[in-house]
Amino acid sequence: MREIEVIEITKAVIELVRRANLLLRGDVLSALRSAYRTEKNKRPKTILKAILDNAAYAKTEKLAICQDTGMPVVFVELGQYLKINGDLKKAINKGIKDGYKKYSLRNSIVADPLLRGKPEFSPPIIHTDITGGNKIKLILLPKGFGCENKSQLKMFKPTAGIVEIKKFIVDAVISAGPDACPPYVIGVGIGGSADYAGIMAKKALLTKISVKNSKLEDDLLKQINKTGIGPMGLGGRSTALAVKIKKYPTHIAGLPVSVNISCHALRSASVIL
């Protein structure tokens, strides 16, 4: 059994906080550059230029790409042959709190959703999965709430057709319109249960944009980009940079579909220890 001390986990999480919040993902940058080339009109081009300049400026000046440094979501893939010495959850929480403080990010988390109160840096949401091996993988996705607010879930009938499902996904993007910082990346979870479809939709945002699309993903992307919403919702060809879908077996009585929209500042970072 391999062993690891929790202090190593905390240190790794602090570094993930820096990478995820100050550096835009390489695949997202490439997709934005390609969107810039695709746009023909001045307005969408100017906006995409500002988005690219913003990423460059954030990197040099060590500033957060977006002031909404999100609800930190941590995906843990824990190898069953790894022994962790100490409290894993506390170690992750501390890494988030210390990292957000260290890099002057935003304290956007209220302890009580109803009473609200003074915002803090933590806690994050932690999703844990058990895997083989003796390592631990930590993925941080700081999820801004302008786009999180546009998430949707629909429990379809098992007899629903693909046309209906596609319409639901495209309509979710249309209803987000200009509000959630397009061009978007659309995460979709199909199958499982209500809760699991939601997690899959969010996890789909971690898929590299450069990974080859399925036919369904391609069809959806084309349909979404035909809406003409465009960067900042002010018109253009690039309403979404990508559509990524995750699927899971489901029950004979149902067909859950969840849509999780990400703004163009799709940020995540991962490490294996």
Partner 1 sequence: MKKISTLKIGQEISFSGTIYTARDQAHKRMVEAIKAGKRLPFEIKDAIIYYCGPTQTPKGKIIGSCGPTTSLRMDEFTPLLLAKGLRGMIGKGKRSKEVRDAIKKHKGVYFVTYAGCGALLSRYVKSVKKIAYFDLGPEAISKLEVKDFPLIVAIDANGRSIYDKD
Q: Give yes or no for a contact between 155 and 258, defined as CB atoms under 8 angstroms apart.
A: no
Say whether residue 265 binds partner 1 (CB under 8 A): yes
98 touches partner 1 by CB under 8 A: no
- The verdict on 18 binding partner 1 (CB under 8 A) reads no
| 222 near partner 1, rule: CB under 8 A | no
Helix or strand holding residue 78 (H, E) = strand 71-79
Q: How far is CA 161 from CA 8, 19, 149, 219, in A?
A: 48, 41, 27, 15
40, 83, 116, 212: which one contacts partner 1 (CB under 8 A)?
Answer: 116
Interaction of residue 103 with partner 1, rule CB under 8 A:
yes
Count of positions on this chain that bind partner 1 (CB under 8 A)? 41
**Does the protein bind partner 1 through residue 54 (CB under 8 A)?**
yes
Residue closer to partner 1, measured from CB, 26 or 228: 228
- Neighbouring C-beta atoms of residue 3, cutoff 10 Å: 9
Is there binding between residue 233 and partner 1 (CB under 8 A)?
Answer: yes
N-terminal to C-terminal alpha carbon distance within the chain: 14
Could you say which residues in the range 134-193 bind partner 1, by CB under 8 A?
144, 146, 149, 177-181
- Say whether residue 263 binds partner 1 (CB under 8 A): yes
Classify strands 269-272 and 136-143 as parallel, antiparallel or unpaired.
Answer: antiparallel
How many Å apart are CA 236 and CA 39, to the nearest integer? 7
Site membership for partner 1, residue 51 (CB under 8 A): yes
Q: Which of 48, 74 has the CB closer to partner 1?
A: 48
Return the biggest CA–CA distance within the chain.
59
Q: Which of 25, 264 has the CB closer to partner 1?
A: 264
Burial class (CB in 10 A: 0-12, 13-18, 19+), 43: middle
Residue 212 is a binding residue for partner 1 (CB under 8 A):
no
* Residue 254 in the binding site for partner 1 (CB under 8 A): no
- Residue whose entry in the numeric block shows the structure tokens 């995750």: 246
Applying CB under 8 A, the span of 51-59, 77-85, 153-161, 214-222 interacting with partner 1 comes to 51-59
